Amino acid sequence: MAAEWWRGAVTYQVYPRSFQDDNGDGVGDLNGITRRLGHIADLGADAVWLSPVFTSPMKDMGYDVSDYRDIDPVFGTLADFDALLARAHGLGLKVIVDQVLSHSSDQHPLFRESRRSRDNDHADWYVWADPKHDGSPPNNWMAIFGGGGWSWEARRHQYYFHNFLAEQPDFNFHNRDVQDFHLDNMRFWLERGVDGFRLDTINYYFHDRLLRDDAADFRVKKKHEANPYNMQYHLFSKNQPENLDFLERMRALTDEYDARMMVGEVGDSHHAIELMGQYTSGRRVHQCYSFEMLGPDFSAKHFRSKVEGFFKGAPKGWPCWAFSNHDVNRHVTRWQAHGASREALAKQAAALLLSLQGSICIYQGEELGQTETELKFEELTDPAGINFWPEEKGRDGCRTPMVWQDSAPNAGFSSANRTWLPVKPEQAMVAVDRQGAGSVMGFYRLMLALRKARADLVGGATEFFDLPEPVLGFRRGAGTLCLFNLSPRPVQVPLSGGTILLAQAADAGKTGLTLGPNGFAILDGGEVG
């Protein structure tokens, strides 16, 4: 079991720029994270995931890496990282680091050499292609952050491909030397003692060798998308079958070390659950997560279909579920129409997430019931928000600093006069020091303790009950019953027996269980129907 510590574990995601600023420059850093690790351990998490801290020009806040083996000075040094790792391990926390392998920064030495000519040692390390006869790009592939996915390089008389910003050129994984380069970089961090990797955009590694056009999205839409990337069905720019062989090479590497783990991020609007199953079957990555529960859908049918869909397609695979992260609006804001109050919805979401079969990821501030921050255009840093404003406001609203002390400057995040993103009063009002008895944070601690105490909730199989909306009901393992009213209106659930372990707005009577607005109950035993 020690080797599979990740199975059913709860990981706490830290966005380093926004967790804790220790040197007063307005940006979070490694020493700040180290100082606050006790908060994560006290919460009851098993592991910490650090979003990228590697050397970067920060065009995409660290997801554009220019050195895979060093720490960016804004966050600290390798010595600071080693100190964080030691402190985390001392508290019983595993440490997972982000690996952004699909692309690098355009300032990486490899790309700077590759773009100079067609005949240098790294000429084929990135995705290059000749123009069409009319000078236009080789195909219709789009970039996620807006516009076409190809940029011109005059020195080569060719285009290079980038799924994201033009400053984030895609590696050519058909070149085995590129694969070896990344495996060597992963080994560097494994030797340093990290416990695992979060693999960014894991389904983007390989592209179609023939550079065939992506199709139009077959799903009819009432109006054009704000982001044209979502108007295509990405059959060839990602999700290629060659990816599976490379994942097996990655798994072989991590298997050389004791108790290490990989979790892959699957970004796809069509086949995410299917890809999660493929990537976690056999000797590939240990677990995958997708954006399937990071959207607006909040219904019993939706949650049931995702869990059942995964285990039906990959009965030996393993998912990792999340409701929020650094790329989407915070779920308390996203689902507010379904909540009787912010606090009731936040607690119900915690109970539901931490009852699901699979591993779990909690995003910093989620344990406070944090909401999305409303920002002005001039306060934005995210290229997605800047490019698509005001139809889409980007990701800065979920990335604003962690709030520790309501009355302190910048809510205790930093002593600087100005922080990289502002701390607003609406966010400061749920600061850690205001989370007393009965708070959202207090509930997270209770729910995490319950999950650890009951083997059913960590590894038990799931049996769903056929209940009408808005009730979601399932049994975990042999004897843990979970019932949720996913609405701000009271409902009745036919229930007999069982002992309530943890509940909100739940009243057991002779004829069943009354669940109030956003009510839920987790029981030891009991029968539905």
What per-residue confidence (pLDDT) applies to 511?
Answer: 81
Percentage with pLDDT > 90 across the chain:
96
50 touches 61 (CB < 8 A): no
The pLDDT mean for the chain works out to: 97
pLDDT at 221 exceeding the cut of 80: no
Q: Which residues pair with 336 in a beta bridge?
A: none
Tokens 């067609």 correspond to what residue?
A: 118
pLDDT band at 222 (very low <50, low <70, confident <90, very high): confident
Q: Which of 134, 191, 256, 466 is catalytic?
A: 256
Query: Mean pLDDT throughout 214-243?
Result: 92
Whether omega before 16 lies within 30 degrees of 0, making that bond cis, reads: no
Residue 94 has what pLDDT?
98
Residues 321-364 have pLDDT tens digits of 999 999 999 999 999 999 999 999 999 999 999 999 999 999 99
Structure tokens at 298: 């909040």
Which of these is catalytic: 200, 214, 343, 456?
200
| Predicted structure pTM score | 0.97
For domain 10-104+173-448, the CATH architecture is Alpha-Beta Barrel (3.20)
Whole-number pLDDT of residue 112: 98
pLDDT of residue 461: 97
- Is position 256 annotated as part of the catalytic site? yes
Instruction: Answer positive or negative: Cα dihedral of 237, 238, 239, 244.
Output: positive
121 pLDDT more than 90 = yes
Contact between 482 and 473 (Cβ < 8 Å): yes
- pLDDT for residue 219: 85
- Contacts of residue 332, Cβ cutoff 8 Å, sequence gap at least 6: 339, 342, 345, 346, 349, 369, 370, 371, 372
pLDDT in tens, 178-202: 999 999 999 999 999 999 999 999 9
- pLDDT for the residue numbered 233: 96
Token look-up 């009851």 returns 44
Q: Options 3.50.7.10, 3.40.630.30, 2.60.40.1180, 2.60.120.10; which CATH number does 462-528 get?
A: 2.60.40.1180
Split at pLDDT 50, 70, 90, the class of 368 is: very high
Among 149-153, 220-224, 435-439, where is mean pLDDT lowest? 220-224
Q: 463 phi and psi, to 5 degrees?
A: -120, 115
Question: Domain segments of the chain: what residues?
Answer: 10-104+173-448, 462-528
- pLDDT value of position 1: 64
Give the residue-averaged pLDDT of 426-449. 97
pLDDT value for 402? 98
Whether 374 is catalytic is no
pLDDT value of residue 223: 85
In angstroms, the CA 12 to CA 359 distance is 11
Asked if 199 and 185 count as a contact pair (C-beta separation under 8 A), the reply is: no
Judge whether 225 and 292 are in contact, CB under 8 Å. no
Q: Is the pLDDT of residue 456 over 90?
A: yes
3-state secondary structure 285-297: CCEEEECCCCCCC
Strands 232-233 and 196-199: unpaired
| Alpha helix (H) residue ranges in 149-242 | 176-192
| Model confidence pLDDT, tens digit, residues 36-53 | 999 999 999 999 999 999
Mean pLDDT (whole number) for 297-317:
95
Q: What is the pLDDT of residues 64-95, one digit of tens each?
A: 999 999 999 999 999 999 999 999 999 999 99
Q: Which one-letter amino acid corresponds to residue 409?
A: P
